[in-house]
Amino acid sequence: MKKTLAYLRYFFYIGLNWNFRLAIAIIYYEIKGENKYGLNTIGIDDLSTSVNEDDRKHASIYQPVNYYIAEWLLNQTDHLDVSKKTCRLLDAGCGKGRVLFMAAHYGFKKITGFDLSPAMCHIAIQNIELNRSAFPDTEFEIIHSNASDFEVSDDTGVIFMFNPFNKHVMEKFAVQIQKSLEKTPREMIILYANPECKDILLNIGFHEINSIKKLRLLQGLVLSNKKDR
């Protein structure tokens, strides 16, 4: 019953803020995805109880990436030169951990997520712990951090983002990406849902290699810094 109410609230939130055709599609994929992965990550959160006012000015509210777009983006890694056993996937703005657990299903063995909200990190840890037995050889790491200060590890090869922060913070996070690539040159793939700040990534040497758009508002973009990709 509790989850049914969460679906209804989310349905009306999307319908009233965007349109009800989109709401029907998203709720369909939400129900399908939550059941498929055994997660409880639906809903929205304005972060008012877990993030200070100054930080909230630059952060997006918690709203999980649509399962359809997330699966499409993660599927792209099957067609790229990505070693899922050694390459770390980083979810920037991991929220309740939806993409972290999905990434394990897609074969990634080293998975890190960070989020500005300690409450979101706590829920993400709970979601991972409830399902960890399905992936005993997978390394999960969840970090409470601001994107501006987050150090991208040298083994990070894939970054997932669902429009987690505004241009101001994205510019600072892009600097962290650059520092990591300068220290350890390598190809990096960015899986970007609702790519509102893509120009910042294009300006630091990434380029588009694939994209999708569904119902006009559901968008996904794949970027790489490898020139001959």
Do 153 and 112 touch, CB atoms closer than 8 A? yes
The verdict on 121 and 151 lying in the same domain is: yes
Total domain count, the chain = 2
- Adjacent-strand bridge partners of 62: 45
| CB burial of residue 214 (10 Å; 0-12, 13-18, 19+) | middle
The verdict on 12 and 95 lying in the same domain is: no
Concatenated DSSP letters of 105-129: HTT-SEEEEEES-HHHHHHHHHHHH
Query: Is residue 229 in some structural domain?
Result: no
Rounded CA separation 208/225 (Å): 9
Output b/e per residue, 54-86; b: 16+ Cβ within 10 A: ebbebbbebbbbbbbbbbbbbebbeebebebee
Query: Is residue 58 in some structural domain?
Result: no
The verdict on 104 and 139 lying in the same domain is: yes
**What pLDDT digit, counting tens, does each position of 210-222 carry?**
999 998 889 999 9
**What pLDDT digit, counting tens, does each position of 21-58 carry?**
999 999 999 999 999 999 999 988 887 777 777 767 76
The verdict on 37 and 93 lying in the same domain is: no
**What pLDDT digit, counting tens, does each position of 91-135 carry?**
999 999 999 999 999 999 999 999 999 999 999 999 999 988 999
Residues in the chain, overall count: 229
Question: Residue 71 sits in which domain range?
Answer: 67-224
pTM for this prediction: 0.95
The verdict on 81 and 46 lying in the same domain is: no
